[in-house]
Structure 1
Amino acid sequence: MEITKRTLAEAWQRAAARHALLAGVGLPPVTYSEDELEEWAERAEEAGEGGLFLLLDEDGTVHGRHGPYQEAFATRDLEQVLYLIAEAAMRERGGVLGEVADALGRIDPGWGRRFRAGGLDDPGTLEACGRDPLEGLAWIAGSWREQAPYTTLAFFRTAPGRTVDAERLALLYGADPAQVAAGTRLKDLKAVDSGRAHWDRQWKSCCFGQAGGWTFLLHHETPPGAFADKEAYAALGIRESVWLTATSAKAIYTFDYVRDGRRVADDMGAVELIWYEHGRAPFLRGGELDFVNRALRRAELDHPELTSTFELYFHALEESLGLRLPRRDFAEGEVLAAYWAGA
Structure 2
Amino acid sequence: MEITKRTLVEAWQRMAAGHALLQEVGLPRMALSDDELDEWAESAEGAEDGGLCLLLDEDGTVRGQHGPYREVFATRDLEQVLYLIAEAAMRRHVGSLEEVAAALERIDPMWGRRFRSGGLGDTGTVEACGRDPLEGLAWIAGSWREQAPYTTLAFFRAADGRTVDAERLALLYGADPAQVAAGTRLKDLRSVDGGRAHWDRQWQSCCFGQAGGWTFLLHHDTPPGAFADKEAYAALGIEESVWLTATSAKAIYTFDYVRDGRRVDDDWGALELIWYERGYAPYLRGGELDFLNRAVRRAELDHPELTSTFELYFHALEESLGLRLARRDFAEGEVRAAYWAKGTL
TM-score range, shorter chain: over 0.9
SS at match of 1:48: helix
Structure-2 change in CA distance of 1:285 and 1:215 (3 Å)? same
Q: Which runs of 4+ in 1 moved over 4 A?
A: 44-47
Match of 1:256 in 2: 256
Deviations 1:19-54 (A, max 9, x none): 110012111111111121121123255662221100
Q: Distance in 2 between matches of 1:142 and 1:328?
A: 16
Q: Write the mapping of 1:295-306 to structure 2, written as runs, cut at 5 A.
A: 295-306=295-306
Q: What is the identity, as a one-letter code, of the residue corresponding to 2:153?
A: L
Deviations 1:144-166 (A, max 9, x none): 00000000000000001111000
Deviation at 1:193, TM superposition (A): 4.8
Instruction: Give the number of aligned pairs.
Output: 343
Q: Write the mapping of 1:78-97 to structure 2, written as runs, cut at 5 A.
A: 78-97=78-97
Structure-2 change in CA distance of 1:46 and 1:56 (3 Å)? closer
Q: Write the mapping of 1:324-343 to structure 2, written as runs, cut at 5 A.
A: 324-342=324-342
Deviation at 1:119, TM superposition (A): 0.3
SS at match of 1:154: strand
Structure-2 change in CA distance of 1:286 and 1:193 (3 Å)? farther
SS at match of 2:188: helix
Deviation at 1:194, TM superposition (A): 3.3
SS at match of 2:153: strand
Match of 2:291 in 1: 291
Q: Distance in 2 between matches of 1:253 and 1:118?
A: 23
Q: Write the mapping of 1:32-43 to structure 2, written as runs, cut at 5 A.
A: 32-43=32-43
Match of 2:199 in 1: 199
Deviations 1:81-105 (A, max 9, x none): 0000000000011411000000000
Contact 2:40 2:46 in 1 (8 A): no
Q: Distance in 2 between matches of 1:63 and 1:271?
A: 20
Q: Distance in 2 between matches of 1:284 and 1:273?
A: 14
Q: Write the mapping of 1:206-217 to structure 2, written as runs, cut at 5 A.
A: 206-217=206-217
Q: Write the mapping of 1:105-144 to structure 2, written as runs, cut at 5 A.
A: 105-144=105-144
Match of 1:223 in 2: 223
SS at match of 2:271: coil
SS at match of 2:258: strand
Structure-2 change in CA distance of 1:216 and 1:100 (3 Å)? same
Q: Distance in 2 between matches of 1:216 and 1:94?
A: 41
Contact 2:189 2:195 in 1 (8 A): no
Deviation at 1:265, TM superposition (A): 0.3
Q: Distance in 1 between matches of 2:216 and 2:47?
A: 48
Deviation at 1:195, TM superposition (A): 3.7
Match of 2:15 in 1: 15
Q: Distance in 2 between matches of 1:264 and 1:48?
A: 32
Deviations 1:162-191 (A, max 9, x none): 110000000000000000000000000001
Q: Distance in 2 between matches of 1:41 and 1:6?
A: 23
Q: Distance in 1 between matches of 2:219 and 2:144?
A: 12
Correspondence 1:279 to 2:279: yes
Q: Distance in 2 between matches of 1:148 and 1:96?
A: 32
Match of 2:102 in 1: 102
Contact 1:44 1:50 in 2 (8 A): no
Q: Distance in 2 between matches of 1:248 and 1:194?
A: 26
Deviates more, 1:136-145 or 1:88-97: 88-97
Structure-2 change in CA distance of 1:200 and 1:94 (3 Å)? farther
Q: Distance in 2 between matches of 1:328 and 1:65?
A: 43
TM-score by length of 2: 0.98
**What do you get for the CA RMSD once the two structures are aligned?**
1.0
Deviations 1:186-227 (A, max 9, x none): 000001253442122000000000000000000001001000
Contact 2:157 2:241 in 1 (8 A): yes
